[in-house]
Amino acid sequence: MALDVQAIRQDFPIFQREVHGKRLVFLDSAASSQKPQAVIDAMTRIYTHSYANVHRGLYTLADEATTAYEDARGKLARFINAADTAEVILLRNATEGLNLVAYSWGEQNVGAGDRIIITEMEHHANLVPWQQLAQRQGAELAYIPVTEAGELDLDVLPGLLADGRTKVVACSLMSNVVGTLPPVTRVAEMAHAAGAIVVMDGAQAVPHQPVDVQTLGADFMAFSGHKMCGPGIGVLWGRRELLEAMPPFLYGGDMIRTVKKTYAQWNDLPHKFEAGTPPIAEVVGLGAAADYLSALGMDAIHAHEREMTAYALERLAEVDGLHVIGPGADRRGGVAAFWMEAAHPHDIASIVDAEGVCIRAGHHCAQPLHECFNLPATARASFYIYNDEADVDALIAALHKVNRLLQR
């Protein structure tokens, strides 16, 4: 069933405001999405009705808070079809999830002379942790190149995997810049056949399309709550046997079973990786976000964004001197990064902002990918459940204004 965008916009209080006296056209959900009232209410409810620390108290409020927190974990497990709720680790953001794997799994399993393979299209969050792990361990870091069309060049992968030295392949489910949806399941099959594990960055995919960790082929997958209508937290999913064998990442309260003066024993999964008081209301809010998206239907969301992206690419082609980077609409998610001959990305973003249109300008935490295209920065529009064709039309009109101001 198609999304009713007008009804969805009613669920998001921020769309009641204007920007510079203009209708708010929010095209930066790839950076962070807006929040529906259901999420705001869920967080308010726990603060006003059931707040206490989790996993400790024996009184009613503590029990209610713990139940709400663990219920939310269950919702997130179902959202990605995890076989086991204990495989869902609640963290500060997706970046922390990827760092957790790079530190805890990486330092135990990647040694001198081993190889780590990532791709040139990674967000810095799935690049720098591996780059630094390679440097700490004396391992080699190899890149799967990106073609001019913004696709992964998988021809190099068999050669890189052939010597059996590769311990981990890390790959994004969707580029946050060019929108490319790499063939991750094929990458995972090849990596596994060569004895490597596969770490996936799901930050751009999980909010926008059905993701099933049991069929994906990943051993770990991180995603962020704030890009899927939730608050600013992140989630790491990992296969239980790998998580069980890993040392903790952070030490402190809640992650221990027992502490003596000279040693400590770790708590069971998932708590082993959740040191200290967690972001309780945020986790509850993210559970509500998963409910909200599930009610809309992830297939319907994905179909809506494909339509939006196709329409946007068609209309962007009308703007004089504008160049979109990345693959065609049938091969990408709801993101369009572009550059204009007449304007620096900063100027594009500032000028369209005056028309109420929010887009991003910069390298979008993907500097190596921008190097592939020989561009220091791009402007980027991204689409979500509350965007419609009128939003694209507003963007296009504003981009014509950019040309009117800056084209000589």
Partner 1 sequence: MTSDLYREQLLDHYHNPNNYGVLEGADVDVEWDNPTCGDKIHLTAKLDAEGRVAEVMFEGHGCVVSMASSSMFTERVIGKTPEEVAAMSLDDIQEMLGGIRLSMGRVRCALLPLNALKRGMDAS
Closest distance to partner 1 from the beta carbon of 160 (Å): 29
- Please list every residue from 370 through 399 that binds partner 1, using CB under 8 A: 375-377
State which residue, 125 or 221, has the beta carbon closest to partner 1.
125
Residue 56 makes contact with partner 1 by CB under 8 A:
no
Residue from 241, 252, 367, 390 binding partner 1 (CB under 8 A): 367
Phi/psi for 141 (5° steps) reads: -110, 120
Considering only the stretches 4-12, 94-102, 275-283, 340-348, report the one whose residues sit in contact with partner 1 under the rule CB under 8 A. Answer: 340-348
Report, in angstroms and rounded to the nearest whole number, the Rg of the chain calculated over CA atoms: 22
Give the single-character DSSP code of 267.
P
Among 60, 108, 135, 350, binds partner 1 (CB under 8 A): 350
Q: Is the CB of residue 12 less than 8 Å from the CB of residue 35?
A: yes
CA distance 34 to 25: 12
Would you call 358 a catalytic residue per the annotation? Answer: no
Measured distance CA(168)–CA(221) in Å, rounded: 13
Q: Do 407 and 342 form a contact (C-beta atoms < 8 A)?
A: yes
Local structure of residue 255 (DSSP, 8 states): S
Q: Between 271 and 380, whose beta carbon lies closer to partner 1? A: 380
Distances from the Cα of 167 to the Cα of 87, 101, 130, 164, 172, angstroms: 21, 13, 11, 8, 17
Stretch that binds partner 1, among 112-120, 225-233, 277-285, 339-347 (CB under 8 A): 339-347
Q: Does 351 bind partner 1 (CB under 8 A)?
A: yes
Residue 347 in contact with partner 1, rule: CB under 8 A: yes
Q: Is 32 in the site for partner 1 (CB under 8 A)?
A: no
Q: Which of 8, 172, 345, 372 binds partner 1 (CB under 8 A)?
A: 345
| 270 prior amide bond cis, ω within 30 | yes
Q: Among residues 379, 381, 75, 354, which one has the least CA distance to residue 230?
A: 75
Judged by CB under 8 A, the stretch of 86-94, 154-162, 226-234, 358-366 that binds partner 1 is 358-366
- Give min distance, CB of 122 to partner 1, in A: 17
Q: Does 182 bind partner 1 (CB under 8 A)?
A: no
Site string for partner 1, 288-327 (x = CB under 8 A): ----------------------------------------
Structure tokens at 148: 């001019």
Q: How many residues does the chain have?
A: 408
- Closest approach, Cβ 95 to partner 1, in A, equals 17
Q: Which is nearer to partner 1, 63 or 347 (CB)?
A: 347
- Does the protein bind partner 1 through residue 356 (CB under 8 A)? no
Instruction: Determine which one of 229, 358, 365, 372 is catalytic.
Output: 365
Give the count of beta carbons closer than 10 Å to the beta carbon of residue 258: 9
Return the beta strands (E) in 125-255 as ranges: 140-144, 166-172, 197-201, 220-224, 234-238
Per DSSP, helices labelled H in 155-270 are: 157-161, 184-193, 213-216, 240-245
| Contact residues: partner 1, CB under 8 A | 20, 344-347, 350-351, 353-354, 361-363, 367, 375-377, 405-406, 408
Residues with a catalytic annotation lie at 365
